Amino acid sequence: MIHDPANPIKTRLKAAVCQFDIAAGDMDRNIETGLAAAENACKAGAQLVVLPELWSCGYDGEKIADHARKTPEITGFLAGLAKAYGAVIAGSLPEKANGCVYNTMYVINSSDGTAAAYRKIHLFPLLDEDKWFAPGRQSVVLDCHGIPAGCMICYDLRFAEMGVHLAAGGARMILVCAQWPAVRIDHWDALLMARAIENQIFMVAANRCAADADAGFNGHSRIIAPDGAILADAGQMPAHVCAELDFSVIDNLRTRFCPVAQRVPAAYPPA
């Protein structure tokens, strides 16, 4: 259901996206880097912090199930940060459950330290991701400081219908964590803007970067407004950037014209 402007919810939130390099399999280094990045963003006043995809271990193939065993400890560290700073912290980690491993975005709530979770639905074939992970089966819209937020992980961004579904489920922003390579970074830039504009929604997207800009990942972590304006851009090197999200912008846009509410899905059902 699209949010009803007559029933306003929280209107402002300071969000941050963090980007840094991820060393495949080097858990100690990655955890130290990721927690420091999240804490620096919290110290800058961020109420929402988004970290990259699989930030604790990277794509480490056959060792991914072993890395997943440490995830409960990592979410505990994040819960401590969230409580200390009154923030919500999101990012994807390997999750072991039901005899499978999932690429799961954990969203750690500041009020009680509990984690909501979204399991990546679309697994990336060029990385043989389906060899190491099971796919999620359910899209997720969750509460973030009283604001409905949808979740996407990397390759999910290419599926426009997923963004439509999240917006229809009431999401006012979509959180994205990724390891999107430099060779296709123009697609990342375009798709983030497209998902924002077509759904009249905020995009809060954290991507991996490398300390060496030629190492295959070059960031472009961004926060994008519902009209496609870039509110924050982290560039290509390790950094965090913040922006204030004013959710009244969504209602103002949709009052003037609202393609989100004027879709006719019966006329173009899934193939």
Q: Is the pLDDT assigned to residue 127 strictly greater than 60?
A: yes
Q: Is residue 69 part of a domain?
A: yes
Instruction: Indicate if 53 belongs to the active site.
Output: yes
Asked if 251 and 201 touch (Cβ cutoff 8 Å), the reply is no
All residues at 6 or more sequence positions from 27 whose CB lies less than 8 Å from its CB, including other chains: 56, 57, 67, 70
pLDDT, position 116: 86
Q: Is residue 7 part of a domain?
A: no
pLDDT, position 212: 63
What's the pTM? 0.94
54 HSE (CA, 13 A, CB side): 26
Q: How far apart are the C-alpha atoms of 263 and 6, rounded to whole Å?
A: 21
Question: Of 18, 154, 209, 242, which one is the catalytic site residue?
Answer: 154
* Residue 9 vs residue 102, higher pLDDT: 102
Question: Of 18, 42, 53, 95, which one is the catalytic site residue?
Answer: 53
Q: Is residue 217 part of a domain?
A: yes
Q: What CATH number does residue 70 fall under? A: 3.60.110.10
Q: Is the pLDDT assigned to residue 112 strictly greater than 90?
A: no
Instruction: Indicate if 57 belongs to the active site.
Output: no
**Which residues form the domain of 111?**
13-259
Q: Is residue 270 part of a domain?
A: no
Q: Is residue 8 part of a domain?
A: no
Question: Of 42, 95, 120, 177, which one is the catalytic site residue?
Answer: 120
Instruction: Indicate if 120 belongs to the active site.
Output: yes
Report residue 89's pLDDT band, with 50, 70 and 90 as the boundaries. Answer: very high
Read off the pLDDT of residues 152-188 as tens digits, 9 standing for 90 and up. Answer: 999 999 999 999 999 999 999 999 999 999 999 999 9
Q: Is residue 60 part of a domain?
A: yes
All residues at 6 or more sequence positions from 184 whose CB lies less than 8 Å from its CB, including other chains: none
Domain count, the chain: 1
